[in-house]
A and B are shown apart, each in its own frame.
Chain A
Amino acid sequence: MNVLTKLGKRYTVVIAFLVLWEASVRFEWVDPQFIPPLTRVLQFIGEQAATGALAHHLLISLGRAAGGLAIALIAGVPLGIALAGWPDKIRIATRPVLEWLSHINPFVVFHIIIVFMGAGEPTKVSIIAWACIWPIMFSTLSGMIHADADIVKAARSFGLSRLRLTTKVLLPLAFPSILTGTRLAAGYALLFLIAAEMMGSSSGLGFMIYTAQANYQIVEMFSGVLIIAVLAIVLDGIMSAAGKWLGHPAIK
């Protein structure tokens, strides 16, 4: 009850916004032909959930997003660590190339990959991974480089090996930064997931929205928009909670 009270108080404005949405359509301040009432959208979501169609699209989309994010984490963190460990001169030499790569549009990558991988699952997961790897890699690099110099010196004076120094000292110190990058990457994963599904897919939330728009099914379109927004909020909340839970004792 206490938690619910806190949430209710915090999100009073959000609830007011939703009520305003419903009222503005009912009183026809907004054309109901273009914006359906909130209750109609929620009703449609309920129907979709009952038939299992919603779960189908949702699971497919989440699978793709999770796959891309996982690949980005597996590749991005070690790359960031490697970059931090290299001599300054090598890091300076690689910087322009990496910054250029981070600006290569995921949709360009999409069109390149599709030529030899086709429009299948690997293509969509690759786009998401490409978009996610850069914030993760750069945040890992930043965290490693900006680790507290005094702690690093103290660790070195105890004769720690390079491997133990990295795993026991630098990574824990860089963890908050890596978490920030991962949180940003999770947002990107959802973002480019929808885009990839809009452009080359026959399933998923993005496909659902795109076909609804093409067929003027306004209620379905808005239900998709709403589901994706809620998904983003929930995902961000989970990342935030995970960050607090995983916080390293040395940093608290």
Chain B
Amino acid sequence: MATRNIPVLLLVCLRLSGIALLCILWEVLPRSGLVNPTFFPPLSAVLQEIAALLRDQHLLGHTIATLWRVVAGIVLAALLAVPAGAILGYWLPSLAAGLNPLFRILAQVNPFSLMTVFLLFFGIGEKAKLIIVAWVAFWPLLHHVIGGVQNIDADLLKAARSMGTSPSRLFLQIILPGAAPSILLGVRTSIILLLAILVAGEMLGGLAGLGWLLHWSSNYYSSPYATTPIFAVGLCISLIGVALSAVLRKLERDLFFWKPLESAWSAAPAPRKLRGRPNRIFAVTVLSAMLLILVAGGASTSRLSRTNGSFSGEGDVPSPSASDHSGHMSHEHSSPAAGHSGHSGHTSPSASPVQSGHP
């Protein structure tokens, strides 16, 4: 299991070689007919479809909508979980221990089954989806905050208290920085689940977002590759997940330079040399991007929802491909018994907090 140090350039080449091989296979297999191109379109067709979606179907707007919901949900969950976790973990440890069984049970409540409850309460507007994402993010965050707070070096806390530090300064300057690595770890480990939950929420009830676009695409087949739109949107969703995970990992490395690196992929012990002073440029950039998404994304999402809400029926949906002159659409209903799932995306949004998407 001994691992040699590999030069950075070779490392990059190796990683790119895996990706390149995948792309080549994705293009060649459908072209050669070894894989049925009707079910598995070549990569070039998928990329062309992405370009078409960008041009005709507000793909960028939907992407921003999904990102907005993810960021807003995580921020909301963090605003609740960090203070609660700090209070429970440091000032009320016995209460934290007592409430732990309840927290574990609430964390186990299936977010998909809760989604039906939230959709009923808040309708198919933004509230339900934000609350779903926040709910899913809240429990791992709370768990990691409590754990992080309780693992802070006791000497630091004693020193601060002996100098008469006020509770608010204690929180801001010792507890929060001490728990920060755990907080980021909590977000990173739950990001895959967050995206899955959000996409499902957008599919079940919504008018904007990649999940909505995916669901809509699956009900509309374009020539010559029936599944191309699904692959196109799916590729976008998966790349967002990869990008978010990469951003979070880099944030961890930059902000928490004193912590040893962990990896499931390499048995090599982390280099013992101390990494340099933290580089905050990337963190500031990420924070700016988050603010931009929160402010501009919200407006963009609202506008997109209104645009999609104006459809009087699927017959009015413009063709994503200019070459498709027939305008004919086939309706693949995946759930014949549950008749609502195929049409929920076309219900007009409502300001009423209790109105359901299925009147």
Q: A residues bordering B, Cβ < 8 Å? A: 10-14, 17, 34, 88-89, 91-97, 99-100, 102-109, 111-112, 114-116, 119, 131, 138-139, 141-142, 145-147, 149, 152, 187-188, 190-192, 194-195, 198-202, 205-207, 209-214, 216, 218, 221-222, 224-225, 228-229, 232-233, 236
Contacts and interface: CB of A to CB of B under 8 A. Distances in A.
B231 interface: yes
Nearest to A152: B1
B307 to A, nearest CB: 23
A189 B179 CA distance: 31
Interface string B73-116: 00000000000000000000000001101101100111111101
Given A99-B242, A99-B245, A190-B110, A34 B121 contact: yes
Contacts of B217: 111
Interface in B1-44: 1, 3-4, 6, 11, 14-15, 17-19, 21-22, 36, 39
Nearest to A149: B1
B120 A221 contact: yes
Contact of A191 (B101, B110, B231, B241): B110
B340 interface: yes
Given A225-B109, A225-B114, A229-B108, A96 B18 contact: yes
A198 B108 contact: no
Interface of B: 1, 3-4, 6, 11, 14-15, 17-19, 21-22, 36, 39, 98-99, 101-102, 104-105, 108-114, 116-117, 119-121, 192-193, 195-196, 199-200, 203-204, 211, 214-215, 217-218, 226-227, 230-231, 233-234, 237-239, 241-242, 245, 264-267, 332, 334-338, 340-341, 354, 356, 358
Contacts of B117: 213, 221-222, 225
A173 to B, nearest CB: 11
A115 B358 CA distance: 27
B183 to A, nearest CB: 20
B354 to A, nearest CB: 8
A88 B4 contact: yes
B110 A221 contact: no
A14 B101 contact: yes
Contact of A108 (B4, B214, B226): B214
Contact of B116 (A97, A138, A209): A209
Contact of B110 (A17, A199, A216, A225): A225
Nearest to B221: A115
B211 A13 contact: no
30 contacts: A92-B15, A92-B18, A92-B265, A93-B14, A95-B265, A97-B22, A103-B195, A105-B238, A107-B214, A108-B233, A108-B237, A115-B39, A145-B265, A149-B267, A188-B193, A191-B111, A191-B112, A198-B116, A200-B334, A206-B113, A213-B116, A213-B356, A214-B358, A221-B116, A221-B117, A225-B110, A228-B113, A229-B105, A233-B104, A236-B108
